[in-house]
Amino acid sequence: MCIQDMKEHVRENFDTSPAAYERYESQTGRFADLAERLEAAMRERQDGTLEWLLDAGAGSGASTRVFDREGRETVALDISGEMLRENGAISRIQADFDRLPFADRSFDGVAFTASLFLTPDPDTAAEEAHRVVRPGGTVGAVAPLGWTTADETDVFEQVGRESRSPTTADEIDAALRDHFDVVTGTWTFETTASNLRLFHAVPAMAARLYPRLDHEERVDRATELLEDVDGPLWQRWRWIVGTRGKGTA
């Protein structure tokens, strides 16, 4: 499948997902938590203010609600019109973060909260982020590392399936490292089997397990697959923050 077709699939997947996505978020607050941590990590490495921020892959607004406060000017950008429709930001734009409709050096920072791993072409997105961030500004990304049981077994290995995203955390790290001075780490959250099921009740998330099935069928199959998973679980996310050097062209 070509890159454009893959992106079209991602857009369609998220266009069917706002209600289930918001259900997961209101139950767990996970994406708001990730955005808060990411923003703090960016501020720590920022040279100067973090006032003009691009929320790249803003979705229905969990990350935007975190960024768009304390007088900050946040632009919410997303490829999915239906996710963006639920986003309460004043500045919203439907676009692909691989082709940003902004002038060079327009922002103090670009944040990809759980979004950069969805592009099959992270190098182009990293290049674009570098172009629109001013020298001394930052880029931030979080990418999923998966779900494990108490003995660190991958949940999907246990249920006999692979859970795959278009781009891995290592690939994102490598793409950003080409343009920015990068630091990285891992955040681990204790969670439950019921949250794992709620996460995979989002059609765009169930697509990682059953990409070829239609939206309803893939959620049904994911629910069935995860029905017997039990006990406390751990969900891990990799964070990556890069600073644009002042000498960089």
Q: Which of 16, 74, 119, 243 binds ligand SAM (CB under 6 A)?
A: 119
As given in the structure block, the two tokens for residue 183 are 């630091």
- Give the DSSP letter of residue 195: H
Q: Does 98 bind ligand SAM (CB under 6 A)?
A: yes
Residue 147 sits in the site that holds ligand SAM (CB under 6 A): no
Cβ atoms of 116 and 141 closer than 8 Å: yes
Q: Is 90 helix (H, G, I), strand (E, B) or coil?
A: coil
Identity of the residue, 108 or 128, whose beta carbon is nearer to ligand SAM in the bound complex: 128
* H/E segment holding residue 137: strand 133-148
Longest dimension (CA), the chain: 54
Residues 15-44 that bind ligand SAM (CB under 6 A): 31, 35
Choose which of 20, 58, 89, 129 interacts with ligand SAM (CB under 6 A): 58
Is residue 128 involved in binding ligand SAM (CB under 6 A)?
no
**What is the number of residues in the chain?**
249
CA distance 157 to 175: 28
Nearest distance from residue 58's CB to ligand SAM, in Å? 5
Q: How far apart are CA 213 and CA 209, in angstroms?
A: 9
Find the part of the chain contacting ligand SAM (CB under 6 A) among 96-104, 173-181, 219-227, 231-239. Answer: 96-104
At closest approach, how far in Å is the CB of 79 from ligand SAM?
4
- Please state the closest distance from residue 45 (CB atom) to ligand SAM, in A: 20
Binding of ligand SAM by 80 (CB under 6 A): yes
Handedness of CA 37, 38, 44, 49 (dihedral sign): negative
* Order of strands across the sheet that contains 107-113: 91-94, 73-78, 52-56, 107-113, 133-148, 232-243, 181-192
In the list 16, 46, 74, 115, the residue contacting ligand SAM (rule: CB under 6 A) is 115
Answer yes or no: are the C-beta atoms of 54 and 75 closer than 8 Å.
Answer: yes
57 binds ligand SAM (CB under 6 A): yes
CB 91 within 8 A of CB 36: no
Residues 194-213 that bind ligand SAM (CB under 6 A): none
Interface pick for ligand SAM out of 113, 165, 184, 235 (rule CB under 6 A): 113
Binder of ligand SAM out of 118, 129, 141, 155 (CB under 6 A): 118
Residues of the shown chain interacting with ligand SAM in the complex, contacts defined by CB under 6 A: 7, 10, 14, 31, 35, 57-59, 62-63, 78-80, 83, 96-98, 113-115, 118-119
